[in-house]
Amino acid sequence: MEDILRQLSVTLRGMWLYRWWGLAAAWIVGPIIAAVVYLLPDRYESSARVYVDTQSILKPLMSGLAVQPNVDQQIGILSRTLISRPNVEKLIRMADLDLAAKTKEDRETLVINVTKALQIREAGRDNLYTLAYTDTDPERAKRVVQSMVSIFVESGLGDKRKDSDTARRFIEEQIKAYEQKLIEAENRLKEYKVRNMGTLGAGGQDYFRKMSEVSEQLNQAKLALREAENSRDALKRQLSGEESVALPEKMSSASLASMPVPELDDRIESMKKSLDGLLLKYTDKHPDVVGARKVIEELEAQKSAELQARRKAAASAASGAGASVGLSSNVNPVFQQMRLSLAEAEANVASLRARVAEYDSRLQALGAASRTLPQLETEFTQLNRDYDINKKNYDALVARRESATMAVEMGATSGVADFRLIDPPTVPSKPSAPNRLLLMPAAGLAALLIGGIVSFLISQIRPVFSDTQVLREVTGLAVLGAVSMIGDSDRLRNQRRSKVFFLGGVGALVGLFGAMTVWLLLARVG
C-alpha cells in the first residue's frame, strides 16, 4: 500500500510540473467540444401508439371447428420483426425518403440510417406498442411514423393471410399427391383381388375349411367307388354262372334283327333326360355329367352289341343245317337282365372314378395353393395397410384444408386481431436530441480529463525524479545524497502566483462550460 501511495505521489508531482501543458490542452479542446455540442443538429422524435385487440367473440364459438391462431404470439413476433430490410425499404418508398438517394451507396446508407432511427417499444401493457422515429426534420419524422403504422397494420393482417394462403397451397399440393397415391393403392389392391380371388376366398380359415370339405367328399367318393366295384364284381360272377336258354325260332331273321330292345331303349332315354337336367345345373366337366355320359355310351354300346348278335344269329339260322329243327339261340331274359345290370354297374363305376379323380385334382390344387396362402395373405395385408395409410392421410389433409379455409375466412371477416390507433403521430415541436444540458457539462469534464491525460503523457515522456528511492530503482545505482532546494521569498511568491493562475485557468474553463449550460437551460425554458 505504501508503495502504491508513493508511486501515486510521484506521478502527481510529475503531472504538476507539466500542468500548464495540460491546461493549455484543456482550453484548446474544451471550446472545440463545446462548439461541437452546440452545433449538433436537432433531432425530432415522432411517435404513435397502437393497441392490438386479440379478444374476439368468435374465438370460443369457433373452438374445435377452425384452427385458432396464437394471435398474441404472432403480434409479438411482428413487433420484433417489423424493422426488417423489406419493410424498411417499403417505408422509405412510402415516406418519399429515397428522393435524394441517387446511387446504390446512398440508398444503402439511407436504409442503415432509417433502421437505426426506427423504434418499436412495448408501452407497459399487453399488446400496446409505441412506434417512434427520430429525424432532423419534424415533418418527415411524422410522415415516417404514419407509414410505419400502415405497415404495422398491413403486416399484421397481410402476413397472417399470406401465411394462411401458403399453408393452404401446401395442403392442396399434399392432397393432390396423396390422392394420386390413394388411386394407385386402390388399383393395386383391386388387381391383386382379381388375380387371387379364387385363392384368397373369404380368408385363411374358410380356405382350409374348404380343403377339409373336399377331402371329405373325396373319401366318400372313394368309399362309393369301392362299393360299386364290389357290386360289379358280384354281377360278373353271377353272369359267368348263368347260361342262355334256346328258344324256338318263330321269327324270320330280318324281323329278329330289327326287333327293338325295350330295356335298353328305356334306359338310354331315361339317362338322356337325366343328362339334360344335369347340363342345366353343371358344366361338361362335372363328375355327374361325365358319369351320365359314360353310362349312355355303355348302354348304346350294349345295344349295338345286342343287335349285332341278333343279326349274326339270324344269319346262322338261315344258312345252318339245323333249320328244320326251328330252334334259335335267343338270349335268356334273366341273362339279358343281368347283362343290363352289369352295364349299369360298369357305368356307375366309371362315373365314380371320374368323381374321385375330380375331387383328388381339386384337393391337390387346394394343397398347392395352401402353401402360397401365407405369402398371399401377407401381400394382401401390406396392400391393405398401404391403402389405409394413404386413405387416413388423405382424409386428414382434407379435414385440415377445410379447417384452414374456415380459419382464414374467420380471420378475414371477424377481426380476430383488431389494430387500434390510440395516439396518432404528430409533428414534434421540440427536439428530443441531442440533450445539450447533459452533453455540455460532460464536454467540460472531457476537456479537463484530456488536460490531465496530456500532463500525464508528458511526465512519462520527460520524467523528473523527485524521490531518491525512485531514482535508485530506475537507475540501479546508489544515491549518495540529495540536495534540497532552498526557496527564497521571491520563489515562494512566484509559486503561489503560479498556483493562483493555474487554478484560475481551471476555474475559468469550468465557469465557461457552466455558463453555457445555464444559457442552454434558459433557452429551453424560454
- Same domain for 276 and 398? yes
- Same domain for 407 and 474? no
Give the H/E segment covering residue 155: helix 138-195
Q: Pick the closest to residue 257 from 301, 300, 317, 298 (CA basis).
A: 317
Give the H/E segment covering residue 199: helix 197-200
Residue 473 pLDDT > 60: yes
What is the pLDDT, as a whole number, of residue 66?
45
Position 365 in a domain: yes
- Same domain for 241 and 284? yes
User: Residues of the chain with pLDDT > 90: what percent?
Assistant: 2
2-6, 262-266, 352-356 — most confident range: 352-356
> How do residues 201-245 score in pLDDT, each as one tens digit?
544 456 667 778 888 888 888 888 888 888 888 777 777 765 444
Residue 156 pLDDT > 50: yes
What is the pLDDT, as a whole number, of residue 32?
92
| CB-CB contact of 335 with 244 (8 Å) | yes
- CA dihedral (289, 292, 294, 300) in degrees, to 10, reads -140
Number of domains in the chain: 2
pLDDT band at 77 (very low <50, low <70, confident <90, very high): low
The mean pLDDT value for 353-373 works out to 77
Cα separation values, 405 from 170, 348, 394, 397, 512, Å? 13, 77, 16, 12, 72
Position 293 in a domain: yes
- Same domain for 366 and 458? no
**Range with lowest mean pLDDT among 34-43, 378-387, 476-485:** 476-485
The mean pLDDT value for 272-279 works out to 79
> How do residues 246-257 score in pLDDT, each as one tens digit?
344 444 444 444
**Angle 287-319/262-281 helices, nearest 10 degrees?**
160
Which of 413, 445, 476 is the last residue before a domain boundary? Answer: 413
Q: Where are the beta strands (DSSP E) in 373-521?
A: 418-423
- What is the distance, to the nearest Å, from the Cα of residue 185 to the centroid of all Cα atoms in its chain? 20
465 burial (CB, 10 Å; 0-12 / 13-18 / 19+) is: middle
Position 36 in a domain: yes
- Same domain for 482 and 401? no
What is the residue-averaged pLDDT of the chain? Answer: 75
- Same domain for 261 and 362? yes
Position 167 in a domain: no
The residue type found at 316 is: S
> How do residues 292-324 score in pLDDT, each as one tens digit?
788 888 878 877 777 776 666 556 655 553 443
- Same domain for 397 and 438? no
> How do residues 322-354 score in pLDDT, each as one tens digit?
443 333 444 556 667 777 777 888 888 888 888
Beta bridge partners of 66: 63
Cα separation, 41 vs 14, whole angstroms? 41
Position 241 in a domain: yes
What is the pLDDT, as a whole number, of residue 323?
41
What letter would DSSP give residue 102?
Answer: -
- Same domain for 339 and 369? yes
- Same domain for 367 and 445? no
Provide Rg for the chain, Cα atoms.
62
What is the pLDDT, as a whole number, of residue 450?
92
Position 126 in a domain: no
Cell numbers representing residue 311 in the block: 343279326
**Range with lowest mean pLDDT among 254-258, 268-272, 339-343, 358-362:** 254-258
**Which range of residues forms the domain containing residue 24?**
1-40+434-526
Which of 382, 413, 444 is the last residue before a domain boundary? Answer: 413
Strand order, beta sheet including 118-122? 118-122, 128-135, 44-53, 418-423
- Same domain for 472 and 505? yes
| CB-CB contact of 478 with 472 (8 Å) | yes
- Same domain for 258 and 328? yes
* 483-492 LR contacts (CB < 8 Å, sep 24+): none
> How do residues 420-462 score in pLDDT, each as one tens digit?
788 888 888 788 778 888 888 898 899 999 988 998 898 888 8
| CB-CB contact of 443 with 513 (8 Å) | yes
Which of 365, 383, 413 is the last residue before a domain boundary? Answer: 413
**Range with lowest mean pLDDT among 27-36, 140-149, 368-377:** 368-377
pLDDT band at 260 (very low <50, low <70, confident <90, very high): low
Position 54 in a domain: no
Taking residue 437's Cβ as centre, other Cβ atoms within 10 Å add up to 15
User: Phi and psi dihedrals of 327, rounded to 5?
Assistant: -110, 150
Cα separation values, 426 from 96, 377, 514, Å? 18, 79, 34
- Cα within 13 Å of Cα(89), Cβ side: 7
The residue type found at 383 is: L
Position 151 in a domain: no
Cα separation, 155 vs 150, whole angstroms? 8
| CB-CB contact of 30 with 513 (8 Å) | yes
- Same domain for 233 and 276? yes
